[in-house]
Amino acid sequence: MSSWDAEVAVVGLGAWGSCALWQIASRGVDALGIEQFHPGHAWGASHGGSRMFRVTCLEHPELVPLARRSLELWHELAGLTGTSLFENRGGLLIGPEDGRVVGGTLRAARRHGIHVERLAPPELRERFRQHAGTGPGDIAVWEPSAGILRPEEAVRAATGLARSAGARVVTGTQVHSVELVSGGVELEIGGGLIRARQAVMTIGSWLASLVPGMALTPLRMPITWFRSATGDDRFELDRFPVFMRELPGREVLWGNGSEKEYGVKLGLEAHGRRPRPIDPDTDDRSAVSEDWADLTRVLERCLPGLEPIPSQVSVCMLTATPDGQFVIGRPGGDPRLILAGGCNAHGFKHASGIGEILADLVTHRPARMPLDFVSPDRSVLK
């Protein structure tokens, strides 16, 4: 009888972990998924009803092929499970032409041949009148391929397919430590050990504590929803699609229109000011007024017609790296361990493609994209 509980243990079944387990199990590998809560839970970074999807990845030029592959896999996952996961409503990028949002979008589109439409200020004001107070130098880019993904449904769908492919799933079980041993790893859980030849660590904000010594910072990220003050339909999703808007001072306002039980989803990325660090195990996640104070400050000027106080607030977590790029790979080339984290608030849309990459690493297949810029061994993480 083998002394190993599984060939591969995937620890953490959020977006990246559930997709990795699906891809690994579908290749016939003996796989075990371990989740401390339940698939589709609201305690990490994969909840809130919607996530923005863009092909024009301004965060790094090598992410565009990953986004394209991820979209193919999202459609595959939806088809295999009969689940609606992606709504292609298009997306709007607004700001100075040489700014981070519009400039980065145009560079990605040119480099990778992505179809986008450039909107001059008069056309922007005519087509998207909800956006007020744009600057005299602001333009917009319309990306027809953008839209929203359904995070909870996606996680549950991927986990379900993994089970159907033979993966075992253990929920309500937290891994407290990871020890590298001869030929594999030992994962300490309450009152016992799980032994596997390889471990894939996809535990989001918990990665910083389970794999110490890396520059990974868990951050508290509020998600806020607002209602229309007038009750009309101009802020509904079909008229107010996903957007990113660079404001003076390089703040970035982002969001999407209301749909289903949700109001208008909005957030504000304040340049130079990161959300505050959080301990994922002990810190209070109750919403407080400071969670939306900065956002309320810009609403009247930028999106008049919305109530100033959110109708709903939830607290998400993200894990940041110093250079804003993911962490994916084997630390030191160790054949027993694969790390995948550092979502930096733009990792969900790539989850299906990252799951495939992790399965390639597990099965020792050639990489489908350059991985140097996401390597866990890069100097910025030391």
3-state DSSP of 34-69 = ECCCCCCCCCCCCCCCCEEECCCCCCCCCHHHHHHH
DSSP letter for 124, please.
H
Average pLDDT, whole number, for the chain? 95
Contacts of 289 (CB under 8 A, 6+ apart): none
DSSP letter for 205, please.
G
What confidence score (pLDDT) does residue 1 get?
Answer: 39
Query: What is the percent of the chain with per-residue pLDDT over 70, rounded to a whole number?
Result: 98
Q: Would you say domain 6-49+151-215+323-381 falls under CATH 3.50.50.60?
A: yes
* Reported confidence tier of residue 190, pLDDT bands at 50, 70, 90: confident
On whether the CB atoms of residues 64 and 143 are closer than 8 A, the answer is no
Six-digit token string for 291? 């969670």
Q: What is the pLDDT of residues 221-260, one digit of tens each?
A: 999 999 999 889 999 999 999 999 999 988 999 999 999 8
**pLDDT of 111 strictly over 90:** yes
CA dihedral 287, 45, 318, 91 (to 10 degrees): -100
Question: Could you give the 3-state DSSP secondary structure of residue 80?
Answer: helix
On whether the CB atoms of residues 263 and 311 are closer than 8 A, the answer is yes
The CATH topology of domain 92-143+217-320 is: D-Amino Acid Oxidase; Chain A, domain 2 (3.30.9)
On whether the CB atoms of residues 173 and 36 are closer than 8 A, the answer is yes
The pTM of this model reads 0.97
DSSP-H helix ranges across 237-362: 290-302, 351-362
Residue-wise over 37-75: b if at least 16 C-beta within 10 A, else e? bebbbebbbbbbbbbbbbbbbbbbeebbbbbebbbebbe
Please give the backbone phi and psi of residue 232, each rounded to the nearest 5 degrees, phi first: -85, 180
Partner residues linked to 194 by β-bridges? 187
Q: What is the pLDDT of residues 118-169, one digit of tens each?
A: 999 999 999 999 999 998 889 999 999 999 999 999 999 999 999 999 999 9
Residue 268's CB is within 10 A of a number of other CB atoms, namely: 23
On whether the CB atoms of residues 9 and 187 are closer than 8 A, the answer is yes
**Residue bearing tokens 């996952």:** 77
Q: What is the pLDDT of residues 272-324, one digit of tens each?
A: 566 889 999 999 989 899 999 999 999 999 999 999 999 999 999 999 999 99
Query: From start to end of 210-358, where are the E strands?
Result: 217-226, 242-246, 252-256, 264-269, 312-320, 327-329, 337-341
**Sequence spans of domains, the chain:** 6-49+151-215+323-381, 92-143+217-320
